[in-house]
Amino acid sequence: DIVMTQSPDSLAVSPGERATINCKSSQSLLYDSNNKNYLAWYQKKPGQPPKLLMYWASTRQSGVPDRFSGGGSATDFTLTISSLQAEDVAVYYCQQYYSSVTFGQGTTVEIK
Amino acid sequence: QVRLQESGPGLVKPSQTLSLTCTVSGGSVSTGTYYWGWVRQPAGKGLEYIGRIYTSGINNYNPSLKSRVTVSLDTSKNHFSLKVDSVTAADTAVYYCARVDYSDSNAFDIWGQGTMVTISS
């Protein structure tokens, strides 16, 4: 099984500042034949279903603000919120779909 | 606009079978490049993948749950279902159904609102 580990578990960022979440996989998520990283990011708010933010590690889902960006390759990935807004307070999960599906443990983002 | 809606009992007794249905509207469960999956979230914990089914009927399950879980498709009712056998309190969670378009994002792009299931006598 592929294990996904996120860091930090939580972070507090001032409004307008940058928030960066890391996600590390226990094996490479880069599929050589298509040069794609099989990684997605979700935003989860209480009482709501998860919302897809990014897929293929760096492709923004339609309707997601461009302050969200994804990067990285193989085993190390990041989700960056360039200018944190109050509505971005949530738990963020990375998820691999290279082999079956596994989620990271989640990172809580709060306003400082 | 495709929408998903979970339904099923909110309370299940220990050792019994948990059964949930996800009804799909605005699209068909039997056509297209999709698979249909289940994810759960116990209170205060993270997301856990349960399993999925392709339109072809092929399944994939979380190895830690595989022995107790069945995901099936009912094309006549345009829904898919989840069964979890021999439930315990550890199966108490919000259960979500979701869709993946494997010709596009390959990620869970559409989700149901979720349904709370409590395992208790």
The count of C-alpha atoms lying within 13 angstroms of the C-alpha of B113, restricted to the half-sphere facing its C-beta, is 3
Residues of chain B with Cβ-Cβ distance to A97 below 8 Å are 100, 106-107
Beta-strand runs (E) in chain A: 4-7, 10-13, 19-25, 30-31, 36-37, 39-44, 51-55, 59-60, 68-73, 76-81, 90-96, 102-103, 107-111
pLDDT in tens, A21-68: 999 999 999 999 999 999 999 999 999 999 999 999 999 999 999 999
pLDDT in tens, B15-24: 999 999 999 9
User: How far B114 CA lies from chain A's nearest CA (Å)?
Assistant: 7
Our measurement of the distance from residue B2's CA atom to the centroid of its chain's CA atoms, rounded to an integer in Å, reads 16
Q: Does B50 touch chain A (CB under 8 A)?
A: no
Residues of chain A with Cβ-Cβ distance to B108 below 8 Å are 40, 42, 50, 52, 95
Q: Does A57 touch chain B (CB under 8 A)?
A: no
The pLDDT of residue B31? 84
pLDDT in tens, B55-113: 888 999 999 999 999 999 999 999 999 999 999 999 999 999 999 998 898 999 999 99
Task: Out of B37, B48, B107, name the one closest to residue A40 (CB).
Answer: B107
**pLDDT confidence of B50, banded at 50, 70, 90?**
very high
The torsion angle over the Cα atoms of residues B27, B10, B109 and A55, rounded to 10 degrees, is: -160
